[in-house]
């Protein structure tokens, strides 16, 4: 499937990222959410301190899959988690209240999570333009696999079947920004088991569905291929902001 799509190698991505001064960190295997949250916070705090002191920010893209977990953003409603915390634990699903924007979402195997820790000021971006850039990177990525993604007014993320009864979300976004430095990011459903979303009202929406690239294509996709394409699209879009470097 999709044998005509060019998939950049990890070596090519590293070369692209080095020209932009952004490190790519690809984590193999399922990552514990709590451990990665602590890691993100540590990097974020160091970057905020660097901005405060006029030093260069250590920019990084972290790409991974999480073990099953439900996360609630700053403005999330507890009622959008449809089962008790005890039942979540019984099913092996973590629960975290975190500092990103947005409501509630689910992470699990087969979902590509990307945490960009970047300096928006360096790239000439405001928060809204940054969110638009993240959405655009996903729209371009899934288009390369034959899926039409769109934006929906008043709802962040990337959607399929906009303005139809079958409108459904394929990618969730939630970010935190301080002193123009970012953490958290996006979650693209690649081969995700969508049953996990039955535990919640995804992003606080009761009437909208969720989907995955595998569901839209009718078969599982090569996860690493999707990951590498998304990394390429993100780097290309970031290269068009701030001071361009040849890619």
Q: Measure the CA–CA gap between 242 and 18, rounded to whole angstroms.
A: 16
Give the distance from CA 18 to its chain's centroid: 21
Radius of gyration of the chain (CA): 17
Residue among 27, 171, 177, 203 flagged as catalytic: 203
Percent of residues in the chain assigned helix, strand, coil, to nearest 5: 35, 30, 35
Please identify which residue in the block is written with the tokens 């193999």. Answer: 28
In the annotation, is 203 catalytic? Answer: yes
Pick the closest to residue 173 from 154, 157, 162 (CA basis).
157
Are the C-beta atoms of residues 14 and 24 closer than 8 Å to each other? yes
Q: Which two tokens stand for residue 202?
A: 């995804």
Per-residue DSSP letter, 194: G
> How many other CB atoms sit within 10 Å of the CB of residue 198?
12
Could you give the residue numbers annotated as active site?
Answer: 203
């Amino acid at each position: 499937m999709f044998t005509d799509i060019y998939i950049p190698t990890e070596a090519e991505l590293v070369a692209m990222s080095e020209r932009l001064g952004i490190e790519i960190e690809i984590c193999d295997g399922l990552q514990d959410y709590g451990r990665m949250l602590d890691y993100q916070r540590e990097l974020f705090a160091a970057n905020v301190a660097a901005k405060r002191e006029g030093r260069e920010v250590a920019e990084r893209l972290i790409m991974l899959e999480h073990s099953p977990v439900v996360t609630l953003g700053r403005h999330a409603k507890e009622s959008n988690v449809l089962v008790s915390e005890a039942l979540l634990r019984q099913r092996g699903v973590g629960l975290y209240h975190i500092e990103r924007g947005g409501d509630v979402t689910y992470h699990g195997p087969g979902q590509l999570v990307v945490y960009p820790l970047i300096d928006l000021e360096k790239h000439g971006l405001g928060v809204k333009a940054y969110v638009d850039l993240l959405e655009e990177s996903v729209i371009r990525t899934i288009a390369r696999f034959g899926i039409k993604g769109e934006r929906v007014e008043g709802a962040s993320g990337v959607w399929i079947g906009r303005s139809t009864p079958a409108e459904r979300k394929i990618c969730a976004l939630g970010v935190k920004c301080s002193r123009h430095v970012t953490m958290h990011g996006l979650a693209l459903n690649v081969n995700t088991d969508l049953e996990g979303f039955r535990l919640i009202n995804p992003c606080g929406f009761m009437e909208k569905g969720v989907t995955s690239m595998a569901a839209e294509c009718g078969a599982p996709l090569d996860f690493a291929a999707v990951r590498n394409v998304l990394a390429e699209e993100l780097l290309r879009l970031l290269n068009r902001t701030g001071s361009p470097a040849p890619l």
